[in-house]
């Protein structure tokens, strides 16, 4: 795994030239924090991967499908 840095908002980023894999690694990092609850909104494969991992880890969650989301006014 590459060097980890935090941006000005505190988000964790991995700098190792791994490209698209970094997004999935971020999901792994989130679950390593041992969350007590998760809210996941459908949007891409990254969120689908996160929801799968949350379910596998038996973390309570709320999942929102795109059809239940609306565009902000």
- Of residues 17, 15, 22, the one with CA closest to residue 4: 15
Helices within 1-73 (DSSP H only): 21-32, 45-56
Question: Could you report the per-residue pLDDT of 4-55, keeping only the tens digit for each?
Answer: 666 656 666 555 556 667 778 889 999 999 999 999 988 778 888 999 999 9
| Confidence (pLDDT) at 61 | 95
Task: Give the chain's length.
Answer: 73
Q: How far apart are CA 38 and CA 55, in angstroms?
A: 10
User: For the whole prediction, is pTM greater than 0.85?
Assistant: no
Quick check: 35 and 22 in contact, CB under 8 A? no
Quick check: 60 and 39 in contact, CB under 8 A? no
């Amino acid at each position: 795994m590459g060097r980890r840095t935090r941006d000005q908002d505190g988000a964790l980023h991995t700098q190792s030239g791994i490209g698209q894999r970094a997004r999935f690694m971020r999901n792994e990092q989130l679950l390593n924090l041992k969350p007590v609850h998760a809210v996941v909104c459908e949007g891409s494969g990254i969120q689908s991967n996160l929801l799968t991992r949350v379910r596998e880890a038996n973390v309570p969650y709320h999942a929102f499908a795109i059809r239940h989301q609306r565009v902000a006014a």
